[in-house]
């Protein structure tokens, strides 16, 4: 019989604990704390994400039902609802944001060789935002409309994963385009966006960093055609032009030429106008890049369905942001687990399996019959930890 760690503890072994301790010290997370440190809070909240808990009371009941195993999970004290609620309210959410960012830094190289199906070596990012509706009387710090509150997740997704490389949590009133001011562009990378991000001054700043963008044009965008290149209309392309902007403000905000690609999508019957500052890639690749932008929509749909970010365990801004960043940490942690253990199953399958086996003492590889499992000695397990 396997006498090693619980499944949940094996998953948490992949946390970057050095970064975690540094973040706790930087933001004073464990200052004046006697019995429920930040690490225990993270474990409880990660447990809630992995096992689909619905509330703080739900977490408390489950933890007390397994109180003899809590020590082996890394939790040294009994978990109470009030203690966890106070921790979510008071422990700085930036601690968990830094942990999530470190996990993202670890995960991105693992997925760098994923095939996008495009003849393109550049990194491709999709930028979008998703709104989570809230009750204004319960979440007054997150105004959205006169009778509604909301938080908005601004996410920059690396499409070779997909791994979120940037995430900002704001109230519902923050315009999507302001997210362009909050991250440093990566030279040579492509940023794919919808019309909500069409701000020529910000796009020019993006181009000045040496980055490329693909964005849908608005119907009132004014421009003058300088040159047209031939296109194969059988592919859906309608035109490939070099243009200059002629609008009163856009001329000064983006003085360089742009490329306009018009594409007709046979499946939807819609026509799309794209603007880009890349003149080297084929015109059809411009349209295909925008098609891949829908992966960020699928990402939002996935995390809302399979992680706990649509209903929150606390009502304060700190509690909400802590829960979101811990949810992102769990998502990326599972993505890391998939690559490190070379699991040939989806993230959804991994999450569902972990939700049912968190308190079992079974090697992680043995949980997935699709893998070629052989019993690992302690030495092999130690080697896996060294690779962490």
Q: What percent of the chain has pLDDT over 70?
A: 94
Distance CA 275, CA 190 (A): 12
pLDDT tens profile 111-151: 888 888 788 888 999 999 999 999 988 999 999 988 889 99
How many residues can be counted in the chain?
388
Q: Are strands 190-193 and 212-216 parallel, antiparallel or unpaired?
A: parallel
- Cβ-contact 157, 132 below 8 angstroms: no
Distance CA 217, CA 9 (A): 49
pLDDT tens profile 149-194: 999 999 999 988 778 999 999 999 999 999 999 999 999 999 999 9
Where does the pLDDT of residue 329 fall: very low under 50, low under 70, confident under 90, or very high at 90 and above? very high
pTM of the model: 0.86
Whole-number pLDDT of residue 177? 94
- Which pairs from 238-245 meet CB under 8 Å and 24+ separation? 238/262, 238/263, 238/264, 238/271, 240/283, 242/279, 245/200, 245/221
The alpha carbon dihedral of 369, 374, 377, 380 has a sign of: negative
Domain 195-289 has CATH 3.30.1370: yes
Is 364 a residue whose pLDDT tops 60? yes
**DSSP H/E element including 101:** helix 94-110
- Cβ-contact 160, 124 below 8 angstroms: yes
**DSSP H/E element including 263:** strand 258-265
Whole-number pLDDT of residue 160? 84
- End-to-end C-alpha distance for the chain, whole angstroms: 26
In 3D space, the residue among 362, 303, 320 whose CA is nearest the CA of residue 164 turns out to be 303
Is 388 a residue whose pLDDT tops 50? no
Q: Where in the chain are all domains bearing CATH 3.30.1370?
A: 195-289
Whole-number pLDDT of residue 1? 45
Query: Between 253 and 77, whose confidence is greater?
Result: 253
- Cβ-contact 207, 277 below 8 angstroms: yes
């Amino acid at each position: 019989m396997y006498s090693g760690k619980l499944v949940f503890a094996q998953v948490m072994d992949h946390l970057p604990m050095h970064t975690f301790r540094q973040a706790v010290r930087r933001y004073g997370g464990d200052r004046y704390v006697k019995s429920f440190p930040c690490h225990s809070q993270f474990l409880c909240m990660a447990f809630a994400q992995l096992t689909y808990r619905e509330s703080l009371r739900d977490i408390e009941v489950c933890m007390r039902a397994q109180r003899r195993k809590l020590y082996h999970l890394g939790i040294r004290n009994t978990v109470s609802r009030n203690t966890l609620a106070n921790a979510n309210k008071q422990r700085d959410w930036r601690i968990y944001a830094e942990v999530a960012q470190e996990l993202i830094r670890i995960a991105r190289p693992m997925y760098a060789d994923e095939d996008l199906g495009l003849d393109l070596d550049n990194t491709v990012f999709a930028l979008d935002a998703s709104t989570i509706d809230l009750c204004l009387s319960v979440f007054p710090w997150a105004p959205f409309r006169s009778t509604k509150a909301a938080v908005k997740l601004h996410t920059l997704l690396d499409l070779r994963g997909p791994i979120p490389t940037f995430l900002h949590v704001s109230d519902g009133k923050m315009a999507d385009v302001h997210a362009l001011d909050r991250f440093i562009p990566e030279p040579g990378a492509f940023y794919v966006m919808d019309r909500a991000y069409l701000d020529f001054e910000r796009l020019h700043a993006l181009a000045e960093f040496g980055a490329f963008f693909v964005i849908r044009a608005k119907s009132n965008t004014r421009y003058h055609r300088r040159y047209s290149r031939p296109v194969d209309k059988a592919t859906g392309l309608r035109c490939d032009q070099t243009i200059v902007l002629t609008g009163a403000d856009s001329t000064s905000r983006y003085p360089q030429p742009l490329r306009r690609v018009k594409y007709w999508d046979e499946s939807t019957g819609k026509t799309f106008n794209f603007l880009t500052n890349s003149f080297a890639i084929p015109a059809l690749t411009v349209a295909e890049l925008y098609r891949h932008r829908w992966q960020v929509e699928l990402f939002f749909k996935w995390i809302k369905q399979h992680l706990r970010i649509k209903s929150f365990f606390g009502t304060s801004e700190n509690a909400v942001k802590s829960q979101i960043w811990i949810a992102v940490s769990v998502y990326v942690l599972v993505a890391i687990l998939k690559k490190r253990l070379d699991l040939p199953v989806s993230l959804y399958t991994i999450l569902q399996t972990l939700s049912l086996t968190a308190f079992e003492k079974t090697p992680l590889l043995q949980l997935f019959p699709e893998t070629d499992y052989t019993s690992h000695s302690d030495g092999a397990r130690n080697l896996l930890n060294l690779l962490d």
